[in-house]
A and B are shown apart, each in its own frame.
Chain A
Amino acid sequence: MSATNETVQDHGQHHHKDLAHHFDPLEQQHAANPLGMWAFLLTEVLFFGGLFAAYTIYRYKYSAMFEEASNHLDITLGATNTVILILSSLTMALAVRCSQTGNSLWTGRWLLITIAFGLMFLGVKYVEWKHDYHIHLMPGKDWSGKDYWHWQYAKKAKDMETEAHKKGSAEHALPDRKDVLADNDPSLGVRGIQESQQARLFFLLYFCMTSLHALHMLVGFVLIGIIAYFAYQGAYSPEYYSPVENIGLYWHFVDIVWIFLFPLLYLLGAHMGH
């Protein structure tokens, strides 16, 4: 608008170079872009909402076992990831702010820093999932035909960990698979099997919710990377920064999902204190 070289001749009318045909003034374009992104995020709220609904129902039905199962998750790692993700939200907000002020270089930099924090988050998640897998929290079919001993294994692993902490050593061995199978499987009884099933349901929801969240982060990395590239190319200006704004909305949404997942999954059984 300010300079004549920013307007192009188009259908005999003068357009701002960043203004698309179907918008009237630039202001309308500014308002319409986040509106569309929010409409997409609405569908995302309901997409995650299905899993939250499943969680709510089973949490209501099996509240005692859900609290006990939650106690097997690592609160320190969960809290670390909460801090990392909120930090990445801050750097994303700063990227959007830099695009508004026309600082292309720092828009790109903040976007790459956001990806770096996101990768850190997934790194912590990898360590956590690996440990969860080793202590048999991952729900799945056991080919021995004795599906219900996994929960016994997880409980024994937790006991051994607590024991090791009392002795002041950070290192702790995992229980022997054969011991757990021999000790517990025949004596589980109906109640033991029910507990195992309910705990397995909690971990099924835990893995589904955290991995759907992680999947959104992976999609985010690709999109942020593309927009960081265009930012370095100088494609954005204070008149046109909608792509940066929209990817920001997406990333903050991913942050909000985690803000709810953290207390619902990790802190549920914290008050039991073991």
Chain B
Amino acid sequence: MATTEHSTHQPAPLSLYLATFGMLMFLTIVTILAGFHNFGMWSTPIALGIAAVKAALVVVIFMHGYSSSSLTWVIILASMFFLTIMLGLMLSDYMSRGWAM
């Protein structure tokens, strides 16, 4: 979040971007290896968990979330909130009405 008025002027160090890229590559390998392993019911939560960490890295570093204004973060979090409502309420309806399927 923005602490100084000039935060958008100062570019992040190059090493930060390269480290983020390295981390994203590492997590891609982890998700592929995890995919070949049978975790039963945990397979999907694990895959989505790794994807969420990768997405968070992209949002915070590549998309400059670390220096974004609080108002921007309201929008970022709102997108996740409404997506959760869409998926969550829809799924709860399907999962609780087995007789209608």
Contacts and interface: CB of A to CB of B under 8 A. Distances in A.
Nearest to A79: B32
Contacts, number: 143
Q: Among A49, A263, A266, which residue has the most Cβ atoms of chain B within 10 A?
A: A263
Contact of A267 (B12, B31, B87, B95): B31
Contact of B28 (A35, A83, A252): A83
A248 interface: yes
Contact of B5 (A27, A50, A52, A75): A27
Interface in A248-266: 248-249, 252-253, 255-256, 259-260, 262-264, 266
B14 A97 contact: yes
Nearest to B46: A263
A218 to B, nearest CB: 21
A72 to B, nearest CB: 15
Interface in B15-61: 17-18, 20-21, 24-25, 28, 31-32, 34-39, 43, 47-48, 50-51, 54-55, 58-59, 61
A82 interface: yes
Contact of A41 (B18, B54, B61, B79): B79
Contacts of B87: 49, 52-53, 56
Given A38-B76, A75-B32, A53 B59 contact: no
B35 to A, nearest CB: 3
A60 B69 CA distance: 38
A237 to B, nearest CB: 11
Interface stretch (A3-11, A16-24, A87-95, A200-208): A87-95
A79 B71 CA distance: 35
A162 interface: no
A190 interface: no
Contacts of B66: none
Interface of A: 27, 30-31, 34-35, 38-39, 41-42, 45-46, 49-50, 52-53, 56-57, 60-61, 75, 79, 82-83, 86-87, 89-90, 92-94, 96-97, 100-101, 238, 245, 248-249, 252-253, 255-256, 259-260, 262-264, 266-268, 270-271, 273
Interface of B: 2, 5-6, 8-12, 14, 17-18, 20-21, 24-25, 28, 31-32, 34-39, 43, 47-48, 50-51, 54-55, 58-59, 61-64, 68-69, 71-72, 75-76, 78-80, 82-83, 86-87, 90-91, 94-95, 101
The 5 closest A-B pairs by CB, nearest first: A267-B35, A263-B47, A270-B35, A271-B38, A100-B11
25 contacts: A34-B68, A38-B68, A42-B75, A42-B82, A45-B79, A45-B82, A46-B83, A52-B87, A53-B86, A56-B91, A57-B94, A86-B28, A87-B21, A89-B58, A90-B17, A90-B18, A92-B62, A93-B61, A101-B11, A255-B62, A260-B55, A267-B31, A267-B32, A268-B35, A271-B36
Given A30-B8, A49-B87, 18 more contacts: A31-B71, A42-B78, A46-B82, A56-B87, A56-B90, A89-B62, A90-B18, A93-B62, A94-B17, A245-B64, A249-B63, A252-B62, A252-B63, A253-B63, A259-B55, A264-B48, A267-B47, A271-B37
